[in-house]
Amino acid sequence: MTYTTQELIEILDRELKASWQGKRIVLSSRERINDPVVSKLLDMKQVSKVFAYQDFRNQVHQYQKQHRVSGIIWRNCHFNEQTICFPEIYNQLIPLEEDKQVLIQAKDSVINFWQEVTAGMKFWLANAPGQRRGNKEAGEAREATVRPQSDSPTQGTNHRGQALIKIEEAGGDNLKITHHLKISSEYVDKLIRQAEWVEVDAARTEIYLGLCWGDPLEYRYQWAKPKSGCDRVIASHTIPSSIKI
């Protein structure tokens, strides 16, 4: 009998707990760290727990490949009294080649949900401006910024040199600072057309759309760009939170 996706998730969860309880150890942990200075600074008992779980997880990934066990789970997103169920790759499993097609096929239904629940809302490109798929697209994102009728944006940098956008809301004296770039609905539509698959998440007053492309195993990592990646758009009636998405 082949294990299902859900059974593999439960197995990994049990193994993770066992590792952190010290029930799994890797005796060669120090040898795996090539830098002797770094190895002296680390708590090798804790490092051993990490390696033990990683080794077990790698075996599960090999099992997935051998028995063609999908890495997809289905998740619900609730916003504005509406709900959608969509596929995503579980973060401790790997996607199979055919899993990407499942993600792609769900794109239209997620976008329909997004467009319905964000009617009348404003849009921001999360953690922008920055390098996305190249300088041209990053420039287009800046050029596509809506010229707000009631908001006055100015730009500066923080102590790390990261771009900050200061927006003064009409009728108020306080400046709100965000790492996000306000964009038009037309530019959102352009990003949607470019994306291969999408994902969605929501807070109480904001909803987030991930517009993804490339390798489903690597798209979350900054080093994977521009081959793989995910643009994130925030929809909100007011300036979104400064939390990094």
Residue-wise pLDDT for 119-151, tens only, equals 999 999 998 654 344 334 444 544 333 333 333
Is 76 within a domain? Answer: no
137 and 186 co-located in one domain: yes
pTM of the shown model? 0.73
Is 205 within a domain? Answer: yes
Is 34 within a domain? Answer: yes
Tokens 């239904």 map to which residue? 109
Q: How confident is the model at residue 155 (pLDDT cuts 50, 70, 90)?
A: very low
Long-range contact pairs involving 111-115 (C-beta distance under 8 Å, separation at least 24)? 111/192, 111/198, 113/77, 113/82, 113/84, 113/200, 114/198, 114/200, 114/207, 114/209, 114/235
Tokens 């990592």 map to which residue? 221
Q: What is the mean pLDDT of residues 187-207?
A: 96
> How many domains are there within the chain?
2
Rounded percentage of the chain residues whose pLDDT exceeds 70: 69
Cα of first residue to Cα of last residue in the chain, in angstroms, is: 40
- Residue 135, domain extent: 107-236
124 and 225 co-located in one domain: yes
Give per-residue pLDDT as tens, 10-69. 999 999 888 878 777 665 655 566 666 666 666 667 778 888 889 999 999 999 999 999
62 and 111 co-located in one domain: no
Among 67, 96, 118, residue at a domain's last position: 67
Taking the C-alpha atoms of residue 174 and residue 145, their distance in angstroms, rounded to an integer, is 21
Residue 156 pLDDT greater than 50, yes or no: no
Taking the C-alpha atoms of residue 129 and residue 140, their distance in angstroms, rounded to an integer, is 10
113 and 229 co-located in one domain: yes
